[in-house]
Protein backbone atom coordinates (compact mmCIF):
# COMPACT_ATOMS: atom_id res chain seq x y z
CA UNK A 1 0.00 0.00 0.00
CA UNK A 2 2.15 2.87 -1.24
CA UNK A 3 1.27 6.51 -1.74
CA UNK A 4 3.44 8.71 -3.92
CA UNK A 5 3.81 12.47 -3.42
CA UNK A 6 5.19 14.46 -6.32
CA UNK A 7 6.77 17.82 -5.47
CA UNK A 8 9.45 19.98 -7.03
CA UNK A 9 9.03 23.63 -6.03
CA UNK A 10 9.40 25.62 -2.81
CA UNK A 11 5.69 26.08 -2.06
CA UNK A 12 5.07 22.37 -2.65
CA UNK A 13 7.54 21.34 0.04
CA UNK A 14 5.58 23.52 2.49
CA UNK A 15 2.26 21.98 1.34
CA UNK A 16 3.68 18.47 1.60
CA UNK A 17 4.90 18.92 5.19
CA UNK A 18 1.57 18.59 7.07
CA UNK A 19 0.26 15.84 4.76
CA UNK A 20 3.43 13.79 5.19
CA UNK A 21 3.37 14.36 8.97
CA UNK A 22 -0.21 13.04 9.13
CA UNK A 23 0.63 10.03 6.92
CA UNK A 24 3.56 9.11 9.15
CA UNK A 25 1.26 9.37 12.18
CA UNK A 26 -1.03 6.80 10.55
CA UNK A 27 1.85 4.58 9.37
CA UNK A 28 1.03 4.94 5.70
CA UNK A 29 3.99 4.15 3.48
CA UNK A 30 4.97 7.18 1.41
CA UNK A 31 7.25 7.65 -1.56
CA UNK A 32 8.37 11.23 -2.04
CA UNK A 33 9.42 12.12 -5.57
CA UNK A 34 11.21 15.46 -5.98
CA UNK A 35 11.29 16.50 -9.62
CA UNK A 36 14.31 18.75 -8.98
CA UNK A 37 12.66 21.81 -10.55
CA UNK A 38 13.94 23.79 -7.54
CA UNK A 39 17.39 22.72 -6.45
CA UNK A 40 19.28 25.48 -4.57
CA UNK A 41 19.72 24.54 -0.93
CA UNK A 42 17.59 27.48 0.23
CA UNK A 43 14.88 26.71 -2.35
CA UNK A 44 14.70 22.99 -1.52
CA UNK A 45 16.74 21.13 1.15
CA UNK A 46 16.13 23.70 3.87
CA UNK A 47 12.40 22.95 3.79
CA UNK A 48 12.87 19.19 4.15
CA UNK A 49 15.30 19.72 7.03
CA UNK A 50 13.39 22.41 8.94
CA UNK A 51 9.91 20.99 8.45
CA UNK A 52 10.90 17.41 9.27
CA UNK A 53 9.91 16.02 5.88
CA UNK A 54 11.62 12.68 5.09
CA UNK A 55 14.34 12.94 2.43
CA UNK A 56 12.91 12.37 -1.06
CA UNK A 57 12.93 8.76 -2.15
CA UNK A 58 14.15 10.00 -5.54
CA UNK A 59 15.26 13.31 -6.99
CA UNK A 60 14.68 13.41 -10.75
CA UNK A 61 17.08 16.38 -11.21
CA UNK A 62 14.95 18.00 -13.89
CA UNK A 63 16.46 21.43 -13.18
CA UNK A 64 15.61 24.68 -14.95
CA UNK A 65 14.48 25.24 -18.54
CA UNK A 66 11.56 26.44 -20.62
CA UNK A 67 8.04 25.35 -19.71
CA UNK A 68 8.08 22.53 -22.25
CA UNK A 69 11.56 21.39 -21.22
CA UNK A 70 10.84 21.13 -17.49
CA UNK A 71 7.43 19.55 -18.01
CA UNK A 72 8.61 17.04 -20.60
CA UNK A 73 11.75 16.05 -18.68
CA UNK A 74 9.70 15.57 -15.52
CA UNK A 75 7.09 13.48 -17.37
CA UNK A 76 9.69 11.11 -18.82
CA UNK A 77 11.33 10.57 -15.44
CA UNK A 78 8.01 10.34 -13.59
CA UNK A 79 6.71 7.67 -15.95
CA UNK A 80 9.69 5.53 -15.00
CA UNK A 81 9.33 5.98 -11.23
CA UNK A 82 5.55 5.60 -11.23
CA UNK A 83 5.90 2.38 -13.21
CA UNK A 84 8.68 1.14 -10.93
CA UNK A 85 6.91 1.90 -7.61
CA UNK A 86 3.37 1.25 -8.81
CA UNK A 87 1.71 3.42 -6.12
CA UNK A 88 -1.96 2.97 -5.17
CA UNK A 89 -2.38 6.71 -5.22
CA UNK A 90 -0.46 9.82 -6.31
CA UNK A 91 -0.76 13.16 -4.54
CA UNK A 92 0.02 16.34 -6.47
CA UNK A 93 0.23 19.85 -5.04
CA UNK A 94 -0.52 23.33 -6.36
CA UNK A 95 -0.04 24.53 -9.89
CA UNK A 96 3.55 24.37 -11.09
CA UNK A 97 5.08 22.58 -14.06
CA UNK A 98 5.95 19.71 -11.70
CA UNK A 99 2.22 19.46 -10.84
CA UNK A 100 1.29 19.42 -14.53
CA UNK A 101 3.87 16.76 -15.38
CA UNK A 102 2.72 14.50 -12.55
CA UNK A 103 -0.96 14.98 -13.45
CA UNK A 104 -0.46 14.00 -17.08
CA UNK A 105 1.77 11.06 -16.23
CA UNK A 106 -0.37 9.57 -13.44
CA UNK A 107 -3.56 10.03 -15.48
CA UNK A 108 -2.14 8.08 -18.43
CA UNK A 109 -0.97 5.32 -16.09
CA UNK A 110 -4.50 5.25 -14.61
CA UNK A 111 -3.27 5.83 -11.06
CA UNK A 112 -5.85 7.42 -8.72
CA UNK A 113 -4.80 11.01 -8.11
CA UNK A 114 -5.47 13.56 -5.38
CA UNK A 115 -4.95 17.23 -6.22
CA UNK A 116 -4.18 19.29 -3.14
CA UNK A 117 -5.10 22.96 -3.63
CA UNK A 118 -7.64 22.24 -6.33
CA UNK A 119 -10.12 24.67 -7.84
CA UNK A 120 -8.23 27.94 -7.71
CA UNK A 121 -8.96 30.09 -10.76
CA UNK A 122 -7.78 33.55 -11.71
CA UNK A 123 -9.64 33.45 -15.04
CA UNK A 124 -6.56 34.31 -17.05
CA UNK A 125 -5.06 31.62 -19.25
CA UNK A 126 -2.01 33.78 -20.03
CA UNK A 127 -0.95 32.97 -16.49
CA UNK A 128 1.13 29.76 -16.67
CA UNK A 129 -0.10 28.49 -13.31
CA UNK A 130 -3.74 28.78 -14.49
CA UNK A 131 -3.05 26.36 -17.38
CA UNK A 132 -1.41 23.90 -14.98
CA UNK A 133 -4.27 24.01 -12.47
CA UNK A 134 -6.99 23.48 -15.06
CA UNK A 135 -5.29 20.35 -16.41
CA UNK A 136 -4.48 19.01 -12.94
CA UNK A 137 -8.07 19.50 -11.74
CA UNK A 138 -9.68 17.91 -14.77
CA UNK A 139 -7.42 14.85 -14.59
CA UNK A 140 -7.61 14.21 -10.83
CA UNK A 141 -10.22 11.98 -9.22
CA UNK A 142 -10.07 13.66 -5.81
CA UNK A 143 -10.03 17.43 -5.63
CA UNK A 144 -9.13 18.92 -2.26
CA UNK A 145 -9.94 22.61 -2.20
CA UNK A 146 -8.43 25.20 0.14
CA UNK A 147 -11.54 27.41 0.20
CA UNK A 148 -15.23 27.40 -0.76
CA UNK A 149 -14.78 29.61 -3.81
CA UNK A 150 -12.65 26.84 -5.32
CA UNK A 151 -15.53 24.38 -4.80
CA UNK A 152 -17.79 26.68 -6.82
CA UNK A 153 -15.15 27.13 -9.52
CA UNK A 154 -14.93 23.37 -10.02
CA UNK A 155 -18.70 22.92 -10.09
CA UNK A 156 -18.98 25.67 -12.70
CA UNK A 157 -16.58 23.72 -14.92
CA UNK A 158 -18.89 20.73 -14.74
CA UNK A 159 -16.71 18.60 -12.47
CA UNK A 160 -18.66 15.86 -10.70
CA UNK A 161 -19.47 17.06 -7.17
CA UNK A 162 -18.52 13.66 -5.76
CA UNK A 163 -14.91 14.37 -6.67
CA UNK A 164 -14.81 17.69 -4.79
CA UNK A 165 -13.76 17.85 -1.13
CA UNK A 166 -13.53 21.10 0.79
CA UNK A 167 -10.68 20.16 3.11
CA UNK A 168 -9.30 23.62 3.87
CA UNK A 169 -5.81 24.78 3.13
CA UNK A 170 -2.69 22.78 4.01
CA UNK A 171 -0.73 26.05 3.99
CA UNK A 172 -2.93 27.28 6.83
CA UNK A 173 -2.14 24.02 8.71
CA UNK A 174 1.58 24.55 8.25
CA UNK A 175 1.49 28.25 9.07
CA UNK A 176 -0.23 27.52 12.40
CA UNK A 177 2.15 24.64 13.13
CA UNK A 178 5.27 26.72 12.48
CA UNK A 179 3.92 29.89 14.09
CA UNK A 180 3.52 27.99 17.34
CA UNK A 181 7.04 26.53 17.17
CA UNK A 182 9.53 29.06 15.93
CA UNK A 183 11.84 31.21 17.96
CA UNK A 184 11.10 34.47 16.16
CA UNK A 185 13.48 36.68 18.09
CA UNK A 186 16.53 34.73 16.87
CA UNK A 187 15.63 35.14 13.20
CA UNK A 188 14.62 38.75 13.56
CA UNK A 189 17.87 39.97 15.13
CA UNK A 190 19.41 40.69 11.75
CA UNK A 191 16.51 42.82 10.49
CA UNK A 192 15.36 46.33 11.44
CA UNK A 193 12.65 46.41 14.12
CA UNK A 194 10.03 47.77 11.73
CA UNK A 195 9.92 46.70 8.10
CA UNK A 196 7.71 45.81 5.18
CA UNK A 197 8.14 42.27 3.83
CA UNK A 198 8.38 41.76 0.09
CA UNK A 199 8.67 38.77 -2.26
CA UNK A 200 8.83 38.99 -6.04
CA UNK A 201 9.26 36.19 -8.55
CA UNK A 202 6.36 35.61 -10.92
CA UNK A 203 7.03 35.23 -14.62
CA UNK A 204 4.73 38.17 -15.45
CA UNK A 205 6.82 40.40 -13.15
CA UNK A 206 10.29 39.26 -14.16
CA UNK A 207 10.23 38.45 -17.87
CA UNK A 208 9.83 42.06 -19.01
CA UNK A 209 12.31 44.87 -18.34
CA UNK A 210 9.52 47.44 -18.45
CA UNK A 211 7.48 45.57 -15.87
CA UNK A 212 10.46 45.16 -13.54
CA UNK A 213 11.15 48.87 -13.83
CA UNK A 214 7.59 49.68 -12.73
CA UNK A 215 8.05 47.57 -9.62
CA UNK A 216 11.42 49.19 -8.87
CA UNK A 217 9.86 52.67 -9.34
CA UNK A 218 7.09 51.72 -6.93
CA UNK A 219 9.31 50.41 -4.16
CA UNK A 220 11.53 53.48 -4.44
CA UNK A 221 8.49 55.54 -3.46
CA UNK A 222 8.06 53.51 -0.26
CA UNK A 223 10.38 55.37 2.08
CA UNK A 224 10.59 52.60 4.64
CA UNK A 225 12.76 49.50 5.19
CA UNK A 226 11.72 46.64 2.92
CA UNK A 227 13.03 43.14 3.62
CA UNK A 228 13.20 41.26 0.32
CA UNK A 229 14.31 37.60 0.31
CA UNK A 230 15.08 37.42 -3.36
CA UNK A 231 14.02 34.49 -5.57
CA UNK A 232 16.90 33.33 -7.82
CA UNK A 233 14.84 34.05 -10.92
CA UNK A 234 14.44 37.73 -9.96
CA UNK A 235 18.08 38.01 -8.92
CA UNK A 236 19.17 36.84 -12.37
CA UNK A 237 16.77 39.18 -14.17
CA UNK A 238 17.90 42.21 -12.13
CA UNK A 239 21.43 41.59 -13.43
CA UNK A 240 20.29 40.78 -16.97
CA UNK A 241 18.26 43.99 -17.28
CA UNK A 242 20.97 46.16 -15.70
CA UNK A 243 19.03 47.17 -12.56
CA UNK A 244 21.74 46.17 -10.08
CA UNK A 245 23.06 49.63 -9.29
CA UNK A 246 19.56 51.10 -8.94
CA UNK A 247 18.63 48.35 -6.50
CA UNK A 248 21.88 48.87 -4.56
CA UNK A 249 21.26 52.63 -4.32
CA UNK A 250 17.89 52.10 -2.65
CA UNK A 251 19.07 52.25 0.96
CA UNK A 252 15.65 51.09 2.21
CA UNK A 253 15.99 47.70 0.51
CA UNK A 254 17.35 44.87 2.63
CA UNK A 255 17.93 42.04 0.18
CA UNK A 256 18.63 38.54 1.48
CA UNK A 257 18.91 35.09 0.00
CA UNK A 258 15.61 33.13 0.05
CA UNK A 259 14.86 32.18 3.65
CA UNK A 260 13.59 28.96 5.22
CA UNK A 261 9.94 28.68 6.20
CA UNK A 262 10.46 29.19 9.94
CA UNK A 263 12.26 32.46 9.26
CA UNK A 264 9.58 33.40 6.74
CA UNK A 265 6.83 32.84 9.29
CA UNK A 266 8.71 35.08 11.75
CA UNK A 267 9.06 37.75 9.08
CA UNK A 268 5.36 37.49 8.22
CA UNK A 269 4.26 37.77 11.83
CA UNK A 270 6.42 40.77 12.61
CA UNK A 271 6.20 42.89 9.48
CA UNK A 272 4.04 45.98 8.98
CA UNK A 273 2.54 44.73 5.73
CA UNK A 274 3.47 42.64 2.71
CA UNK A 275 4.18 43.49 -0.91
CA UNK A 276 4.23 40.33 -3.00
CA UNK A 277 3.28 38.55 -6.18
CA UNK A 278 3.31 35.16 -4.47
CA UNK A 279 0.11 33.13 -4.38
CA UNK A 280 1.18 31.58 -1.09
CA UNK A 281 2.56 34.66 0.67
CA UNK A 282 -0.46 36.81 -0.31
CA UNK A 283 -2.68 34.39 1.59
CA UNK A 284 -0.28 33.90 4.50
CA UNK A 285 -0.36 37.68 5.00
CA UNK A 286 -3.94 37.32 6.23
CA UNK A 287 -2.96 34.33 8.41
CA UNK A 288 -0.43 36.65 10.06
CA UNK A 289 -2.99 39.47 10.33
CA UNK A 290 -1.16 41.68 7.81
CA UNK A 291 -2.44 43.48 4.75
CA UNK A 292 -1.04 42.62 1.38
CA UNK A 293 -0.31 44.65 -1.74
CA UNK A 294 -0.45 42.13 -4.59
CA UNK A 295 1.85 42.92 -7.49
CA UNK A 296 -0.17 41.31 -10.26
CA UNK A 297 -3.48 42.19 -11.84
CA UNK A 298 -4.85 38.71 -11.18
CA UNK A 299 -7.91 37.73 -9.17
CA UNK A 300 -5.95 35.87 -6.55
CA UNK A 301 -7.99 34.80 -3.47
CA UNK A 302 -11.22 36.74 -4.25
CA UNK A 303 -12.43 36.44 -0.65
CA UNK A 304 -9.30 38.22 0.58
CA UNK A 305 -9.63 40.94 -2.05
CA UNK A 306 -13.27 41.48 -1.17
CA UNK A 307 -12.60 41.65 2.55
CA UNK A 308 -9.73 44.08 2.09
CA UNK A 309 -6.81 41.85 3.08
CA UNK A 310 -5.41 41.98 -0.44
CA UNK A 311 -5.17 45.11 -2.58
CA UNK A 312 -4.35 44.42 -6.23
CA UNK A 313 -1.73 46.84 -7.51
CA UNK A 314 -2.58 47.55 -11.14
CA UNK A 315 0.14 49.81 -12.54
CA UNK A 316 -2.14 50.84 -15.42
CA UNK A 317 -4.62 52.42 -12.99
CA UNK A 318 -3.44 55.54 -11.13
CA UNK A 319 -6.15 55.04 -8.49
CA UNK A 320 -4.95 51.54 -7.76
CA UNK A 321 -1.38 52.79 -7.28
CA UNK A 322 -2.62 55.60 -5.01
CA UNK A 323 -4.78 53.24 -2.91
CA UNK A 324 -1.87 50.80 -2.56
CA UNK A 325 0.36 53.58 -1.24
CA UNK A 326 -2.37 54.68 1.18
CA UNK A 327 -2.71 51.12 2.51
CA UNK A 328 1.03 50.95 3.04
CA UNK A 329 1.02 54.31 4.86
CA UNK A 330 -1.86 53.18 7.07
CA UNK A 331 -0.05 49.94 7.85
CA UNK A 332 3.06 51.87 8.83
CA UNK A 333 0.92 53.87 11.24
CA UNK A 334 -0.36 50.62 12.73
CA UNK A 335 -3.78 51.02 11.17
CA UNK A 336 -3.52 47.50 9.93
CA UNK A 337 -6.21 45.66 11.79
CA UNK A 338 -9.02 43.92 9.96
CA UNK A 339 -11.51 41.28 10.91
CA UNK A 340 -10.02 37.89 10.24
CA UNK A 341 -12.06 35.79 7.89
CA UNK A 342 -12.51 32.07 8.21
CA UNK A 343 -11.90 31.17 4.61
CA UNK A 344 -9.24 28.45 4.63
CA UNK A 345 -10.59 25.77 6.93
CA UNK A 346 -9.80 24.91 10.53
CA UNK A 347 -6.09 24.14 10.32
CA UNK A 348 -6.74 20.40 9.93
CA UNK A 349 -6.78 20.11 6.15
CA UNK A 350 -4.06 17.44 6.17
CA UNK A 351 -6.18 15.14 8.35
CA UNK A 352 -9.07 15.39 5.92
CA UNK A 353 -6.78 14.75 2.95
CA UNK A 354 -5.27 11.68 4.60
CA UNK A 355 -8.81 10.41 5.35
CA UNK A 356 -9.31 10.45 1.57
CA UNK A 357 -5.98 8.64 1.09
CA UNK A 358 -7.12 5.91 3.51
CA UNK A 359 -10.45 5.63 1.70
CA UNK A 360 -8.57 5.05 -1.60
CA UNK A 361 -6.21 2.51 -0.01
CA UNK A 362 -9.10 0.60 1.52
Q: Which residues are near ligand UD1 by CB under 6 A? A: 9-11, 37-40, 43, 64, 67, 95-97, 128-129, 201, 232-233, 236
- 142 binding partner (options ligand UDP, ligand UD1, none; Cβ < 5 to 8 Å by kind): none
Cβ neighbours, 10 Å, residue 180:
8
Closer to ligand UDP at the Cβ: 142 or 175?
Answer: 175
**CA–CA separation, 239 and 228 (whole Å):** 16
- 232 binding partner (options ligand UD1, ligand UDP, none; Cβ < 5 to 8 Å by kind): ligand UD1
Closer to ligand UD1 at the Cβ: 22 or 44?
Answer: 44
Q: Are 252 and 222 in contact (CB under 8 A)?
A: yes
- Contact track, ligand UDP, 193-222, x by CB under 6 A: ------x-x---------------------
- 199 binding partner (options ligand UDP, ligand UD1, none; Cβ < 5 to 8 Å by kind): ligand UDP
CB of 147 to ligand UDP, least distance (A): 15
- 264 binding partner (options ligand UD1, ligand UDP, none; Cβ < 5 to 8 Å by kind): ligand UDP
> Which of residues 5, 7, 10, 178 is near ligand UDP by CB under 6 A?
10
CB of 231 to ligand UDP, least distance (A): 6
Q: Is 34 a catalytic residue?
A: no
**CA–CA separation, 59 and 76 (whole Å):** 13
- 43 binding partner (options ligand UDP, ligand UD1, none; Cβ < 5 to 8 Å by kind): ligand UD1
312 vs 38, 72, 294, 302, 320, CA distance in Å?
A: 28, 34, 5, 10, 7
> Which of residues 279, 291, 301, 312 is near ligand UDP by CB under 6 A?
279
Closer to ligand UD1 at the Cβ: 201 or 352?
Answer: 201
**CA–CA separation, 254 and 11 (whole Å):** 23
**Widest CA span in the chain:** 61
Cβ neighbours, 10 Å, residue 240:
12
- 134 binding partner (options ligand UD1, ligand UDP, none; Cβ < 5 to 8 Å by kind): none
Does 280 contact ligand UDP by CB under 6 A? yes
Does 264 contact ligand UDP by CB under 6 A? yes
**CA–CA separation, 199 and 296 (whole Å):** 12
Which range, of 49-57, 236-244, 273-281, 298-306, touches ligand UDP by CB under 6 A? 273-281
* DSSP-assigned letters across all residues of 282-338: HHHHHHTT--EEESSSS--SHHHHHTTSEEE--TT-HHHHHHHHHHHHHHHTT----
Closer to ligand UDP at the Cβ: 106 or 230?
Answer: 230
Closest by CA position to 170, among listed 314, 35, 13, 34:
13
Alpha-carbon radius of gyration of the chain: 20
Active-site amino acid positions: 201
Amino acid sequence: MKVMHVVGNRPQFIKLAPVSREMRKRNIEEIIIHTGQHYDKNMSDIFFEELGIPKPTRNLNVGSGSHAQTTAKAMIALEEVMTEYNPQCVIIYGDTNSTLAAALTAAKLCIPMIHVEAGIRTNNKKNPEECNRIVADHLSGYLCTPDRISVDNLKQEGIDEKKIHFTGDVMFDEFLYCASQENASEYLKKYPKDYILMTWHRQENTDSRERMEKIIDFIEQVKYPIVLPLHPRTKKKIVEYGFESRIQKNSNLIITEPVGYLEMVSLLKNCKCIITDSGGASKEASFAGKRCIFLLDLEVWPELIESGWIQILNFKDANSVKTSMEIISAALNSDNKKDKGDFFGDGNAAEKIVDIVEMILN
